[in-house]
Amino acid sequence: MTITHHPDISTLMCCSAGSQPEACAAVIASHLACCPQCRAEVRRMQKIGVALFDMLEPSAMSESAPIIAMRACEQDNPDAAEGARVPCLKACKGDVPAPLAALIGERLDDIPWRWISPGVWTFQVPLSKGCSGDLRLFKIAPGKALPEHEHEGSELTLILRGSYSDALGTYQPGDVADIDEGIAHGPVACPMKGCICLTATEGKIRFKNWLTRLLQPLFSR
C-alpha cells in the first residue's frame, strides 16, 4: 500500500494530544494502523509533549491519572510504553483497519449498506452517547459521484477500497483527505473499482446544487 495523502500536521497534533472528537479520532486511528510514517510522526510529537510536561514546575499543575499511569508503564517496560503511546499499531483485519473493525466488523462486504442515491450507499457508524459529529461509510459505484458539497466544519475521509478523485487530487487506499470548513468538492469514484471510504464530519453537509439539497435528510441519518 502506497500512501501519498496524509492528515494535516495540526490534525496529527490533535491526535497526539488526545483532543480529537470521537468521529475524527476513528478516522485517524484507522489511518495510523496502515501508515508507519504518520505513526512515527505521532510518536515524535508525543515525545516532545512528554518532554515539555517534564519541564513544568511541580507546583504549576498536578499530574493527572493518565500521566501517572503512563510514567509507571514506562518505568516497568520502557519499550512497551514507547509503542503504547502511539494508538492503533495493530494491522488490518480482513479488509478493515483493526480500530474500525471493532465497530463494524472485519469485512466491508458484510456491511448492511443503505441506498441514498443512484450508485451511492451509506452506513452510519455509531458513536458514544453524547458525542458530536458524524461518522459513516460511503460506498460509491464505479464512475459515480457524490454531489458537490461543503461542510460547516472540517471533514476527514479515509479511503478503504478503490479510489476517488476530485479537484484536490486522487485518493487511494490508506490516503486521507483532510478538508477544512467551506471547501467544496464532489468526489468521483474510480471507474473500475468504485470507492468505499470512511468519513468523519464535524458539521452539516451543504450541497451546492438546489436539486441535490433534496438529498440532505438522507445524509444526516
Cα 48 from chain centre: 23
Work out the pLDDT band at 62, boundaries 50, 70, 90.
very low
Work out the average pLDDT over 65-89.
38
How is residue 36 written as a grid cell? Answer: 508507519
Q: How many CA atoms lie within 13 A of 19 on its CB side?
A: 8
How is residue 196 written as a grid cell? Answer: 468505499
Tens of pLDDT, residue by residue over 152-162, are: 778 899 999 99
pLDDT of 190: 96
pLDDT at 185 over 90: no
pLDDT of 194: 96
Per domain, the residue ranges of the chain are: 9-84, 105-220
- In the chain, the amino acid numbered 20 is Q
How is residue 15 written as a grid cell? Answer: 491526535
Which residues 6+ apart lie within 8 Å of 185 measured at CB?
148, 149, 150, 166, 167, 168, 179
Tens of pLDDT, residue by residue over 35-59, are: 999 999 999 988 887 666 656 555 4
Q: How many CA atoms lie within 13 A of 219 on its CB side?
A: 22
Q: What is the mean pLDDT of the chain?
A: 77
Q: Say whether 105-220 and 9-84 share the same fold.
A: no
Q: The domain 9-84 is classified under which CATH number: 1.20.120, 1.25.40, 1.10.760, 1.10.10?
A: 1.10.10
CATH for 105-220?
2.60.120.10
pLDDT of 51: 66
pLDDT of 18: 83
Tens of pLDDT, residue by residue over 126-179, are: 888 888 788 999 999 999 988 776 767 788 999 999 999 988 899 999 999 998
pLDDT of 183: 75
158: exposed, middle or buried (C-beta count within 10 Å: 0-12, 13-18, 19+)? Answer: buried
